[in-house]
Structure 1
């Protein structure tokens, strides 16, 4: 079989890289993490002209200087993996800015094909790009494409195959950076070649340029590899730096950047681009932004759009969620009818079906929520949300770039705190980064969404979307107040300026929306089928063992015998042999009394278990917030993963059920339980929203900051959440709002 060719997609954020990747690979892709660093790694497979291809989607980056994790992994992948061809996605409507990365890819010596994307957007803006002239001047193939529609992608893959099949030595492109800088580069290249300094990784000229740019990662790598040669190169850099500071008052890296842009400008002005200059013209995106990002109207539209998203999610998911509830109910009936009585039956019904089924039952809701978020993301609107929120964030000591970690973490319900924590790497200020990192777990991530949906559906079903919208807004308010507290105390410091690019509005493609929705939904399903399944079974075991002592079991057996004797064997036989719905008179009354004894025995068994003892042990303080011992069990399980709260509640409220076919949904069980009401539901919701992050997020915080900050996050969040829940429960109870 022909071995696959390796190709990589590189480009600026918002250049259409992911759209092209989704179009080319479709569902034949998977998401992982780059080795040694937790940044999304997308890899897809395809066959073109009978040639298998492995295509890697590199993180979007503006340059190859390793200032952020995304830039670091993009460069390291190219250097370490050496793909046979790099497809550089360039936004034709922002040609000069996008070609800056192209210059650095040429300096790295990568075998390059330029995909000139968004030709339709450029045309709408009165821009005409002559791809053949650009190809002639850059001396690399240039293929015009429209990634959204797939136009030009066949030719792009044909061209990429041609380049991949050619023998290509990674040779750095020579760009002039002024006489002084060029002399220093020549001197450094001579030394690098003589000492074979990092020549197995980078072209010598590229290493010299990176030393002049004070690239921290490469300087560290060079110092560890060959300290003597690295010191000589650093001495040359110091000499030229002193010279440029005296004569021009700038560092060499600024001169290099200026000359790159000069090189790009000279290429563009040699007949590559012509533009219809019309000072009165407003592009479509600009016209929309005059309304959607207006200082007063913009936030109103934002709130309306988020509310519509919730309305859409809950309205459309109600029916399929009901189908799944019925399906898992039927599955429990089958297990009840076919499995012999015993621990295995209890584990399958209470641990697996009621536990994992409670989580999987929310898959349609999660799917519709992710679909709505994908529309906002792919259309370019989420970038506008970040732009508008910057004005507010600065008041609370945060940075506009903090918005995206908040959104990724579940600022619009969904998402996950883990990538949200990792997304804080893009923040340059350490204190703003730390304040963001510690507060993103307050957002309503996808793991909390089933819990919020369960409790709002059970106690506020008539206005569920409205309450979900309220709890989302509350999460933002609380997170920003917490950030203000941190920035005013332990993380004091001046704010940094916020600059971001607003991509043009685009109509999302159905293919792209479905791929994004399925990717995120599948992660949720996979977690439910692995991590949540394991934790559910573990918690079932903790809620089962040790079993009720024989003396106590004998007391309940004696009670049953006494009740049966009181009604007589004939009535008892009728209860045993008939369906519950067909019972009447004494038989019905006997069945109810026996069920009540069974319920008390099941409760006693659960209280006697390891989990029950933990739950009852915490009641001494948890009663302040209205949490009973069963709820305590679920909340303790939530420290591992928030989805476990639903599965544990499902297990705790189904333990010992005899007639599973009569069992109600978890929401109805909570409604009928005297310990639950609207006030206790709100208190529980607030605690679940704001208490300690899940275990994986805590580990991620420790990796990104330290174990000390991770411990602070767990302690601070839990104490704050419990205080808030207690306040709400006590006031609500006092006012008799339950």
Structure 2
């Protein structure tokens, strides 16, 4: 039978892994190798995807992909209960102490790098294993940390604290050196092309078996390396331990137990990393085959034959020979092109691999994956004392019964998001915003009185009060709403709930041509479009990545909140303001769905990316992480307020105050701004707001959406004056337009960077403006027919 026919609670042994291409290779890298036992733990509320347990962790898979995997020995789960005995932590020698068999000390290649000379380190590991947390501890940086696979989507550099000569680069998480998605390519290219002096390989000690798969490939690179066993505090708390000394003897690299979140073991890790890098101490082991007989023997013979065949080519290409040999055996096309073998060598390679497949009964990719995981299993048997079921896992299972339950998942998600938006727009954020508005008004009145008493020039007085204070102050008053929204989004990400949302929503998103993994970037888009667009790098399919980027602008970012707040306060009763805002968000989502359906049947035909994702345990949000994200967003907002918005406000004031001859304009209609705005105002006349002041505000909104508010405030003087330009109905039409029209210049720059084309970015701007105009026109037309005008 096939894996998709398994029932919840049944075990099975994987027999063959079907499929082809990158997905099949990725499944093998994730541990789905022939002979592995898997248990079906859960089916998503809509019947697809499924959640499997294997090698001590949970993995999601679609039924269509599971149907390509054959299984046998199907039976009700009989996984032995984990040993609940508590084990004392095994002591680990400190820096400079001698090991029993310090094999890595004897692997000195090249000249010793003197102290003070620059050193480059790569921080590499699986997704969601704590790399960014460790990076922050090493460098004192404040990069955002989240409990979702793929939070880091670009490399980040920092100087190790106390060692100004050492720079460490935080790389995106990968499961192997056979790239599956674009952020994994960033990591592989850095390791192969930059040639760092050392690698800090961080491993999740609670899931050590799968994490060591990458470790083995990193060791094949022949770069000095230290292994950081992270989350050892959780392992100890649950009664497990790792024989660290034995592990480093068997691997031939230093192994340091740490807890990045609690800053435990970091100093020792740094000292070991500096030592192996300076003394060029490469891993003591790069051969993981059992050369005696059986499958491992066949793999051993194959790799060594290929190694001899391509050794001279690897030297010319600047690649480690062992690494290049294993990748050739796997069929890595990038390595094949880099080595540039001639026809005779290619034929010989083919014969060697054919013999491997004949001897093992497995194809080339499965044979390599089986060899690596067989070594890891033997290694863990000797060095890992597995704990009882962790408290974190027990808690996650209990919570998931509700949050991912068949009948409760969707109501819970809708309820959670409704609560977030209600608290943001109707309770906490709104109350704090009102308080800040009172403070800004009091400060403005004080400054106005002081300038009047001083007798300052009226033009300068107008610049300060009507320009800077009115424009920047009107935007600053919405800072609490934005901070509150990011506070809740950060909690959802830190707890691990976003990964579950992707699991629950996959089936729904597949109907519009996307994967459940696309849901998370779009959810981030409610906060800010720039990180949302960058987060699409976690999608392995170029089709899905581009579709998600094009849909992100439909998710109303927090920069539009000041516009919504200003108009709802001016035209709607307090009880209606929160529902109107929530309605705008829902309307944006609906337009995004319609646009996705159009893309699905036109430009982006085909199937969405496979849904293969690890589900992390729920964790309590880190106060430091949440506070850090809030501070970052508040700082970014304030920087924008006192730079882009400040300049835009002064420019608008100038253009409004003077006429074409640079005399003070007698009336606003004779100003430079009126002249410029009147050129495009006719475009908006069919929408019900053809005034030049409105068109001017929309133009400035391209620099930053908050500038719409500051511009209107400068031009009108107060929110009350909005009634001279809008009726409640045309205000709704205007809100629909601002909801959908072009993203800000920073988001457009992110689109250009991710799509690699200025033409594509310009297309996004024009298309969003066209969609916004059409939807606003439809709303205006329908409203007119219904008699709202």
TM-score, L = length of structure 2: 0.74
Given that residues 679 and 728 in structure 1 are in contact (C-alpha distance below 8 angstroms), is that contact kept between their aligned partners in structure 2?
Answer: no
In structure 1, the partner of 2:396 is 285
Given that residues 193 and 199 in structure 1 are in contact (C-alpha distance below 8 angstroms), is that contact kept between their aligned partners in structure 2?
Answer: no
Superposed displacement of residue 204, structure 1? 2.1
In the alignment, structure 1 residue 197 sits paired with structure 2 residue 315: yes
In the alignment, structure 1 residue 42 sits paired with structure 2 residue 156: yes
Distance in 2 of aligned mates of 1:549 and 1:269: 83
Mean CA deviation greater in 692-701 or 378-387: 692-701
CA deviation profile, 1:643-679 (whole Å, cap 9, x unmatched)? 332232233324xxxxxxxxx4xx4443xx2322432
In the alignment, structure 1 residue 367 sits paired with structure 2 residue 483: yes
Q: 2:189 aligns with which of 63, 76, 94?
A: 76
Mean CA deviation greater in 495-504 or 333-342: 333-342
Given that residues 185 and 208 in structure 1 are in contact (C-alpha distance below 8 angstroms), is that contact kept between their aligned partners in structure 2?
Answer: yes
In structure 2, the partner of 1:34 is none
Distance in 2 of aligned mates of 1:504 and 1:30: 19
Mean CA deviation greater in 202-211 or 380-389: 202-211
Call closer, same or farther: CA 1:295–1:261 in 2, change over 3 Å.
same
What SS is found at the alignment partner of 2:200? strand
In structure 2, the partner of 1:605 is 671
Pairing 1:141-290 to 2, within 5 Å after superposition: 141-169=254-282, 173-176=286-289, 178=296, 181-183=299-301, 185-190=303-308, 192-194=310-312, 197-198=315-316, 200=318, 202-219=319-336, 222=338, 227=340, 229=341, 237-241=349-353, 251-276=363-388, 283-290=394-401
Call closer, same or farther: CA 1:530–1:110 in 2, change over 3 Å.
farther
Given that residues 682 and 690 in structure 2 are in contact (C-alpha distance below 8 angstroms), is that contact kept between their aligned partners in structure 1?
Answer: no
CA deviation profile, 1:169-200 (whole Å, cap 9, x unmatched)? 57872233845554554455445543563564
Call closer, same or farther: CA 1:183–1:328 in 2, change over 3 Å.
farther
Note the aligned Cα RMSD (angstroms): 3.8
What SS is found at the alignment partner of 1:609? helix
Given that residues 126 and 275 in structure 1 are in contact (C-alpha distance below 8 angstroms), is that contact kept between their aligned partners in structure 2?
Answer: yes
In structure 2, the partner of 1:723 is 774
Pairing 1:429-578 to 2, within 5 Å after superposition: 429-460=541-572, 461-540=574-653, 542-543=655-656, 546-547=659-660
What SS is found at the alignment partner of 1:108? coil
Superposed displacement of residue 402, structure 1? 0.8
Superposed displacement of residue 393, structure 1? 0.8
Superposed displacement of residue 483, structure 1? 0.7
* Paired positions, count: 657
Mean CA deviation greater in 72-81 or 532-541: 532-541
In the alignment, structure 1 residue 637 sits paired with structure 2 residue 706: no
Given that residues 381 and 505 in structure 1 are in contact (C-alpha distance below 8 angstroms), is that contact kept between their aligned partners in structure 2?
Answer: yes
Given that residues 668 and 674 in structure 2 are in contact (C-alpha distance below 8 angstroms), is that contact kept between their aligned partners in structure 1?
Answer: no
In structure 1, the partner of 2:765 is 714
What SS is found at the alignment partner of 2:736? helix
Superposed displacement of residue 2, structure 1? 5.0
Distance in 2 of aligned mates of 1:470 and 1:515: 30
Given that residues 325 and 361 in structure 1 are in contact (C-alpha distance below 8 angstroms), is that contact kept between their aligned partners in structure 2?
Answer: no
Structure 2: runs of 5+ lacking an equivalent = 1-114, 146-151, 290-294
Q: 2:424 aligns with which of 310, 313, 337?
A: 313
Mean CA deviation greater in 518-527 or 349-358: 349-358
Given that residues 634 and 646 in structure 1 are in contact (C-alpha distance below 8 angstroms), is that contact kept between their aligned partners in structure 2?
Answer: yes
Structure 1: runs of 5+ lacking an equivalent = 32-37, 557-600, 655-663
What SS is found at the alignment partner of 2:157? strand
Mean CA deviation greater in 334-343 or 630-639: 334-343
Call closer, same or farther: CA 1:209–1:616 in 2, change over 3 Å.
same
In the alignment, structure 1 residue 89 sits paired with structure 2 residue 202: yes
In structure 2, the partner of 1:119 is 232
In structure 2, the partner of 1:424 is 536
In structure 2, the partner of 1:648 is 711
- Tell which has more relative contact order, 1 or 2 (C-alpha 8 A, sep 6+): 2
Mean CA deviation greater in 124-133 or 391-400: 124-133
CA deviation profile, 1:566-611 (whole Å, cap 9, x unmatched)? xxxxxxxxxxxxxxxxxxxxxxxxxxxxxxxxxxx1244266432x
Call closer, same or farther: CA 1:642–1:250 in 2, change over 3 Å.
farther
Distance in 1 of aligned mates of 2:473 and 2:346: 61
What SS is found at the alignment partner of 1:156? helix
Distance in 1 of aligned mates of 2:656 and 2:713: 12
Distance in 2 of aligned mates of 1:165 and 1:525: 43
Distance in 1 of aligned mates of 2:462 and 2:737: 30
Call closer, same or farther: CA 1:73–1:521 in 2, change over 3 Å.
farther
